[in-house]
Every structure is written in C-alpha cells, then in structure tokens.
Amino acid sequence: MSFELPDNMPNLNLSVPADRESIAGIELNESLLHHWIRQLPKNDLLAYNEIYLEALKRFNRNTLDGKERLLLLDLYRKPLNSLLFSLTIPKLADTIADASQRLQVITDLTELMNELAMGYKIIINDTSEHSSNLKLNLIAQLAINRACEQLSYQALHAYKFYQTVPVRVFKELHQLYQLSLHTNIADITPILGKQTKALFSLHQRYAQILLVSICNPYGLSSGNVLEAYFMMEQLIDDVELLPFPENHQATAGHFFINCLSDRTPTPTLLPVMEDQAQPPTLILNTKPLLIIADILFQQSNKGQISDGTINIDLFKQLIPFLNTSYQRKQIRIPVTGNEQVFLAFGLASIHHCLSNIDKLTDADYESYKSPWDILNKNTYGYLVNKQHVENCHDLKIGDFVGVFERQTTNKPVVAKLASIRWLRTDPNNFTKTGLETFAGEPIAVQFSLDSSEQTHPALLLPEMGHRNQAASLITAPGIYSSQQTLRIKTKKKHLNFTVDVDQLLESNTNFERFTFTDKFD
C-alpha cells in the first residue's frame, strides 16, 4: 500500500536512514526534551551544533510511532529555524573569530537541516506503507509540509553562504509537490493541533523558494537573500504553478520545471529526456508578478508606498530575473591572451600590491596566492574559477578585489579594481566568481583626517567621463561622514590634495566607497 502517484511519476524516492532500531538513551518525553534543548550552549555555536546533530541522528535512527516522531521533531525544529534566519556572513564573522570554525558552523547547519528533513521524510515513508489516502492523513500532510520547509531552508542556507545547493534538495521538493498536487492537498495548510500546525500551504512553501532560486541568489548579499525570501512570501499567492498538459506547445513567458531533475526552473525551453520524451513537467507562470511590479513601481514614483511595505530597490534588482526574456548570463567569449589572473582580496592586500606593483617578482606572486583560471572576460569584467580558495566562505557580494594580469612580454602588469557580483563554491571546493571591473587604473594612496596627522591606506579610482564614473575613494568602514575633510597623499608630493567627502556610493563591513570634491585653500 502507498500514496497514489501521478502516472508519469515512477515512484516516491526520498533519502532516509537505511536502518532503524530501538536505541537506548533517546529522550522521548516532550517536556524533558524541551528542557534539554534549552540547556544547550547557545553561546558556543560549534558545541551547540555538534551536540544537537548527534542527538538528532540518534533520534532519526530510532523506531517510533509517526505522530510521536512528528511532535518531537517539531521541538528540534524551532531553535534550528531561529538560528537559520539569524545568521549571515557578517553576523557569523562577528560571532566566531576563527575562519575554519566559521566554515564548520556553515557545514554543520547544512547537515542539521538535512537530518531534520530526513526525520519528516521517515514519517512520509512510514505512513505511505499503511495508508493510500493522503487527503485523510493529517500526520502525513504535515510531515510533507515540514519536509519541504527544511529542504527549502537547505537551499536558502546555501544561497546565504554562496554554496552549491545540496544534491537531491530540489529533486525531492519537486516529487513532494507533484504528490500533493495529484492528491489535491497543495493548497491545504495542515493543522494537527493548537501547537502542531503549518503556517503555509505546500504551494506557498514551494513557490517561495522557487522564486528566490530564479532571482540570482548568488548575486545577492547574504542579508538580501533573506530579505528576498520574505519578500516573495508577499507575492506567492499570485504565482501560478500548474502541470504542463501533454502534447501542448511551450508558451513564451513561462518557466518550466522538470520534476525528475534536481534543477530549479528554467525559462522558455521545455525539458526533455534523453529519449526525447517529456518528463513530468510543471509550469511556473510569473507574468502576474510582472504586472504587480509595474503597479508598485508606478506607486513608488508617486510616493504612494509607505515605508516598510516592500523594499523597492531590492525588488527592482530581482524583478528582471522573473521575466523569461531577461538575459541571465554574460555571453561567453573565447579567452585570448592571459588565461589566468591573480586576485587580491581586502583593502590592505590590494593596497600593498598596487603600491609595489613594479617590484613584484615571480616568487612574490606565487607566495601571495596561486592564480585563478579565466573562464570569461569581456568589457563587463571576468568570470574566474579556482579550487581550494582560502577562506572562500568569508567572501561576500560587493567586496572589492584587486585584479592583476601579468603580461607575457616586458609590458607592465595590468591592474584593475573589481567588485564581486556573483559567487558560488561547489562540493569539490571550486569557487567561481563573477567580477565587475571599474574603469580606470586604481591608485594606492594614503589619507589623513583634517584633524589628525595619522595616515590610513585608501584606493583612488579616477574620474572616467566616457563611462560617467566620478572619481571616488575606497577606505575602511567608519571614515565616511558628510562634509568630512581628508588630505590625500600620493607617492608624488606635488600631487597631494585636500578634498571634502561628498556622496556615499556603497559600503559593507569591509569598506566604504564615496565621491569627493576638491577643496581649494
């Protein structure tokens, strides 16, 4: 006996622990388990995750009744969800000083969410063996909802920390949604009791993570990934998710989901299998969101949207990706000339390289960092790739990068300043990043505040009129202040000058970039 599946869906294939048995030492009393969780060392994330994960693994490999398992899993679930939504790259860096320990926390949280999802999938498999009517089985419905929640949170966690989404996450999400759609429970918000209930239907859970996934999450700041996720919560009821009718032609403006794959929705092109047959396919229609966006943008221009309703600037960044006609990738151009490039990360490192660019030897380059492979290079910037990047989990969207291309002849090294616009690390520790370069050659300078003689390093980007780029200064955070006066010092004393700080262009926890106006005595 099992739940009824669509004709074109071969089986329900969910990953769960291979063996389960009665294990001693597992806390099965709700009150005592709740007390035990509250006593965990929340101020020590490494220890907290290690203890939590060990307990959850033992729990999942124990034999339990479905309802009992569900109630106890929900106790494990609440603090883990709270931790997921509180952590970003800057918050983690503030909490844990050691880089290797930060990476361990990221990895442990991925495994915790996977283990929690497994617990709910055990319930789905067990109830399927004893019942064929999913519509009458509230325990199974809630377990499906919770499993999809944790699967989607694994994807969200990966996006926040620029990691590849774990294998099978989307494949299992597609399967569970297909099952719920076939049994007409996709729009139901299951309630088992006053405290044990879902907050969203499966349609809402599924649509929310799909929308984030097609909105370039690896190009968003860690905090903006979370904000985008919550923003989509306001829009999911207007999204259409429908089975693709057999023998129909694809319609322009739709995304399509291959429900046998482990992939996110793809625009316009229908998925096909190797034998050219069509797999079970869903249509994701985002056209209603484009209409809503037009209305919101018009209201925003007229000042008719109150603060806190929706982040219009972020929405403008996301909305092009909800349009299937938007070009998502830079056109690949065959790489000519150098096939590798050296990168320097952080203000101090970039400043050092620029200050000594004429003195850097082969040994300096090799000791500084090994080169990155150039995958694409055009007027926009670079797409580069490298394995085993030191502290790659600390890199962020918007970080500045020094780009140094060594010439094969006696020509000087070409130095450029770029900003990270796309970033992802895969399970084989290959980090791929898209870099947007700034026009003009950056200059390493020193500056001092008008009220102090102490100097600090900075990067000067020259004015480039043809690119509509004003001259700007990049400093450590905390320098920018309206009408602040700075004394800029270059290697040549006769080129020193004084400026007033003008407009802040961008900033994060590592830098500030702002324009300035010359100050004449």
Mind listing the pLDDT tens digit for each residue in 158-178?
999 999 999 999 999 999 999
Predicted TM-score (pTM) of this structure: 0.92
Identify the burial level of 95 via C-beta atoms within 10 angstroms of its C-beta, where 0-12 means exposed, 13-18 middle and 19 or more buried: middle
Helix (H) and strand (E) counts in the chain: 13, 16
pLDDT in tens, 258-302: 999 999 999 977 787 766 677 889 999 999 999 999 999 998 888
Number of alpha carbons in the 13 Å side-chain half-sphere of residue 48: 17
Judging by beta carbons within 10 Å of its beta carbon (0-12, 13-18, 19+), is residue 21 exposed, middle or buried? exposed
**Residue reference for tokens 């129909």:** 248
How far CA 367 is from CA of 360, 364, 370, in Å, comes to 11, 5, 8
Contact status, residue 191 vs residue 244, Cβ threshold 8 Å:
no
Per-residue pLDDT reduced to its tens digit, 401-415 = 999 987 766 667 889
CA-to-CA distance for 67 and 77, rounded, in angstroms? 15
> Which neighbouring-strand residues pair with 281?
258
Residue 251 has what pLDDT?
74
pLDDT at 367: 47
Is the pLDDT higher at 397 or at 332?
397
The amino acid present at 291, given as its one-letter code, is I
Mean pLDDT within 126-149: 91
- Residue 325 confidence (pLDDT): 86
Is pLDDT at 495 greater than 80 in this prediction?
no
